[in-house]
Structure 1
Amino acid sequence: MQDEMDTELTCPVCQEIYTKDLREPVLLPGCGHTFCRTCLCSVETSGKVLCPTCRKRHIGSPMSSLPTIYALLSLSEKYKKPLNTEAPCLHHGSPLEFWCRRCQEALCGHCLLAGHLREGHVVEKGSVFVAEKKDEILSSIAHLVNEVEMKKELIIKQMGELIIQIALNTEESQILHDSKTEAENILKDIPNVNCIDSALTSQVLVNSLQMGTQKIPLSRTKMSDSSFCDKCKPCPDMETESHPVRLESCTSVEEDAEDNREGMNTEPHSPLEKEANESFKYQVNETTDKYLGESINMGHVAGEVSERNSLVCSKNENLNQSNLIALRTKAPWPLRCYVVGNDGRTGKLKWENDKLHMYSLSRTQNDAQFMIQLSVVEWLISAESPEVFLDLGSDQHYLGRVYIRLYGHLRRAQHFLALCLGSLGPSYKFSKFHGVAKRGAPGETLAGGKYITSENTISIQGLIPGLEWGGHHISEKRAGLVVGASGGRPTEDAFFHICTKDHIGRKFACVFGEVVSEMQVLRDAVHHMLQSDVQITDVGVILSQGI
């Protein structure tokens, strides 16, 4: 019986008896399991906690604000085991009840009388010394915890920046890959350019490709100069594993980028560069003439033009072309980065509108070189005001993208976020809007919320218990508000409406977000609902603003 009582009054994580202040018992409302507040705070991340017992996700009030279970605390104070007493005095066998500050020794009554009542000795009760030490320890722990939290935030920030950089680099690699492919296609089509219009069109396409590639800053991938001789700058495409190519003279990547940005004249700065350029122009013209006359392999021409156009080097430098080709084939290209959940589903990362977008998790196969765990990526989602996006389409026609900012402190907003992210299984991807309420009238709303389950069935069941309804969450009807539409019934908690027309004086029962851009896309969706279905063709969350 005593063992059972000890179990009930002990935190399952740290195995300590519940006590006031340090080990107060608190209850996770989502599953009902009890732990001490200190342990729950230690596993809390961005306002979210996975129950250490059943692994159920708790989203809502922070651990520091959960109410203490005072009945359990009182019971633990009454029935807790007595603390182990100190070992008795080695000389007299009596309890050590005093402390001498001068001698820094624990004393029993006999020790006190024998030699510590003389002048210069400062003796106090052991309980006073213990209380003082406990205060010192608590202060030191508080300082330590504060320092750990500060460093934790710094590490999380640095990891977030690293994730953003990886995602940005992979996006840029795709742009470069697509630009090269398009350039090769344009080059292949040169024999068909026989009129002014087609020539101008080809030139516009080339200019567009050049602008796209010039926007990618090379400074982030700048190589160290230490592995090259003093007379040259590094040319990354020219080095081999055994020996980096050492050029007598080559243009600086940073200088070229600066020239391109400011529209400066990019004529060669030295006679040697001018000579190399003239040689390059002659060889390109010669190659093009050869192609037009003899119809040679254009893949070789494209590779040669791309290779020569990327570097301006000394004509005396002998390059091993086969080594260059072998070197390049070792690196996967273009680079791809995905987020992976605990169940193996993945979601793509993509830079769009100067924001890092994560698309909802799915079973789609991919060939990504970088995989980042969802639990790590979630650090980049704003806790206070997460932003999600919905891509809308009708009859294979893309209507546009809507951005919605959620009220992160609400469980209903976290529920909507989970269905945009797919973090709890299903998502709103391919979900169809099922109607328009009060069409054309004040308070008009676009109604949605049916999602597809893993069993390929339609559901509106809530995925998180205890979603808000009514009370102080009531708000006046205003265009752009995203509101719950379940009537407070958990079996329909996935239902939501997006208001498209104000209705002054009337109110929604639970507002949990608002549209921040592209309201016109929603109005177009309302219009299309007259003739065809409108669905969410893609969905996801914003991880970070541009850097």
Structure 2
Amino acid sequence: MQDEMDAELTCPVCQEIYTKDLREPVLLPGCGHTFCRACLCTVESTGKVLCPTCRKRHTGSPMSSLPTIYALLSLSEKYKKPLNTEAPCQHHGSPLEFWCRHCQEALCGHCLLTGHLREGHLVEKGAVFVAEKKEEIVSNISQLVNDVEMKKELIIKQMGDLISQIALNTEESQILHDSKTEAENILKNIPNVNCIDSALTLQVLVNSLETGTQKIPLSRIKMVDSNFCDKCKPCPDVEAVRPAVKLESCTSMEEDADDNREGMNTEPHSPLEREANEPFKYQINETTDRYMSESQHSESVIGEVGERNSLIFTRNENLNHANVIALRTKAPWPLRCYVIGNDGRTGKLKWENDKLHMYNLSRTQNDAQFMIQLSVVEWLISAESPEVFLDLRSDQHYLGRVYIRLYGHLRRAQHFLALCLGSLGPSYKFSKFHGVAKRGAPGETLAGGKYITAENTVSIQGLIPGLEWGGHHISEKRVGLVVGASGGRPTEDAFFHICTKDHIGRKFACVFGEVVSDMRVLRDAVRHMQQSDVQIADVGVILSQGV
């Protein structure tokens, strides 16, 4: 179809598409064949006009006065022939319709006949070359897109690892802060210890504090020579010494102490290292004042950086010219990391049960030093099977935590996830379960879903349109299934039930998740519902990335 359209809108002589003024389409009255006016004027200049197609002689009006076929011209203006947009042959002015593989250049018909075929060059039609080139470009683009996607996934994983590490470090900083506070309290109470039982109790508490702090790994950041391998051998093709930052994990507190003592009294172990004044040491710890007091004659290399956490680089003669970085002012402590949404609400990040948890967004005030955008953290939520958690409480009694894996391909699962995160505004936090359906019978379920709005009212209105109901989403009633309970009505799409007893042969209308742990908590909730309310005290999602 496209080839036929090309033929109708192209002059048979010059192979150019019809255009206004120079190449207007005109019809020879004697035979009815159509050509561009420029070609017919060229034929007319030979003395007689013979139709280039049928060779019938034209004896009528001159070519310049033949009427333009405006319908054809209008159509050609709307339909541009893409292959003829290139410039014509510089030598002959004809369209470049061929490609010489030997010379790697485009040819017109005259070029083809005058040299390339005679010299045995491999020549093919331009359309064949264009088709091959398009296929090659498509292949290259596909490979490029695949490479970009692979690198994108790598970057996202690295960002996830970084976020996980920040969250872990802030968690550990809180443990250290609490341990130090408790240790100081113990010291204050030492004068009041007057009996064996009190002393033993205090010793158990101290042992517990030591165990907790020793579980937290230390990190050492030092400047190392990038031109040396792990065995300190110089690479042969290196011309200059360039220091680079390297992160090392300490395997033992005792080894670190020995390394530091030896480093202060040992000469650098290679000429290049001595020349580069290596190694550098990065030390931020409670003994900063001791180092500073020992370096009273030190030369300041770099002054204060910033106002709050100023750093100073010093060269200490007593430390074999090792460069020491020390904190000039007190760092913020303990560290805190939160997720922040577009509306300013925040949710805390917390490591629990060897998983990184993000709690729902709220207006709670915090003094976090690290704020991570929700849109970044959402990368780390599994798309196929996001996992959420619900903390249940009965009056003042904490019942436990329930983990639910959602079927991520369902809109109803995404709706439930949004209500766990609070990403669309309200969340299930402080929501109360409103009943137990079929108590004690097969198919028993715990019913919930009423959430609190920004106006402090209770609602069950769906937040996402078009949630699934019925059809192939129907499933047999099994323990642990999380199901929709709206009857397919959008005004009640926040309702959900969690099955606590099997009912073989009976069906749920729409299953969108299942409990992965802990069914015991849900059974306790069913039992407590007889005497008191059961509330979702906290809610959130598990981030799939970990360190």
TM-score normalized by the length of structure 1: 0.67
Say yes or no: does 1:172 pair with 2:169: no
- The separation in 2 between residues aligned to 1:384 and 1:319, in whole angstroms, is 60
Cα 1:460–1:317 change in 2 (3 A) is same
Q: Is this contact kept in 2: 1:428–1:539, CA < 8 A?
A: yes
Amino acid at match of 2:428: Y
- The separation in 1 between residues aligned to 2:79 and 2:197, in whole angstroms, is 91
Amino acid at match of 1:126: G
Match of 1:279 in 2: none
Match of 2:89 in 1: 89
Measure how far apart 1:117 and its partner are. Answer: 2.6
Amino acid at match of 1:379: W
- The separation in 2 between residues aligned to 1:225 and 1:89, in whole angstroms, is 63
Q: What is the aligned residue count? A: 396
Measure how far apart 1:545 and its partner are. Answer: 6.5
Measure how far apart 1:388 and its partner are. Answer: 0.5
Match of 2:463 in 1: 463
SS at match of 2:436: strand
Match of 1:222 in 2: 220
Cα 1:465–1:114 change in 2 (3 A) is same
- The separation in 2 between residues aligned to 1:395 and 1:341, in whole angstroms, is 31
Gaps of 5+ in 2: 1-77, 226-248, 263-284, 298-310, 313-325
Amino acid at match of 1:452: I
| 1:511-522 correspondence runs (5 A) | 511-522=511-522
1:366-394 superposed Cα distances (whole Å, 9 cap, x missing partner): 11111111111112111221111001112
1:158-181 superposed Cα distances (whole Å, 9 cap, x missing partner): 111111111100000000000000
Cα 1:328–1:519 change in 2 (3 A) is farther
Gaps of 5+ in 1: 1-78, 228-251, 260-267, 274-305
Q: Is this contact kept in 2: 1:354–1:545, CA < 8 A?
A: no
Match of 1:256 in 2: 253
Match of 1:120 in 2: 120
Greater strand proportion:
2
* Identical positions, percent: 85
SS at match of 2:120: coil
- The separation in 2 between residues aligned to 1:406 and 1:413, in whole angstroms, is 6
- The separation in 1 between residues aligned to 2:374 and 2:178, in whole angstroms, is 28
Measure how far apart 1:494 and its partner are. Answer: 0.9
Q: Is this contact kept in 2: 1:214–1:257, CA < 8 A?
A: no
Match of 2:347 in 1: 347
Cα 1:81–1:421 change in 2 (3 A) is farther
Q: Is this contact kept in 1: 2:337–2:349, CA < 8 A?
A: yes
1:40-69 superposed Cα distances (whole Å, 9 cap, x missing partner): xxxxxxxxxxxxxxxxxxxxxxxxxxxxxx
Over the residues paired in the alignment, what is the CA RMSD in angstroms? 3.1
Match of 2:496 in 1: 496
- The separation in 1 between residues aligned to 2:474 and 2:112, in whole angstroms, is 71
Measure how far apart 1:101 and its partner are. Answer: 1.6
1:253-293 superposed Cα distances (whole Å, 9 cap, x missing partner): 6433689xxxxxxxx99xx99xxxxxxxxxxxxxxxxxxxx
Amino acid at match of 1:431: S
- The separation in 1 between residues aligned to 2:79 and 2:386, in whole angstroms, is 44
Q: Is this contact kept in 2: 1:435–1:447, CA < 8 A?
A: yes
Q: Is this contact kept in 2: 1:443–1:499, CA < 8 A?
A: yes
- The separation in 2 between residues aligned to 1:428 and 1:373, in whole angstroms, is 21
Amino acid at match of 1:190: I
1:299-356 superposed Cα distances (whole Å, 9 cap, x missing partner): xxxxxxx969x99x99x96899xx99x9374311101111111221111000111110
Match of 1:424 in 2: 424
Match of 1:385 in 2: 385
Amino acid at match of 1:509: A
Match of 1:483 in 2: 483
Match of 1:209 in 2: 209
Match of 2:395 in 1: 395
| 1:17-96 correspondence runs (5 A) | 82-83=81-82, 85-96=85-96
Match of 1:163 in 2: 163
Match of 2:473 in 1: 473
SS at match of 2:415: helix
Say yes or no: does 1:407 pair with 2:407: yes
Greater helix proportion:
1
- The separation in 2 between residues aligned to 1:257 and 1:433, in whole angstroms, is 54
Amino acid at match of 1:140: N
| 1:366-381 correspondence runs (5 A) | 366-381=366-381
Amino acid at match of 1:256: M
Q: Is this contact kept in 1: 2:446–2:497, CA < 8 A?
A: yes
SS at match of 2:221: coil
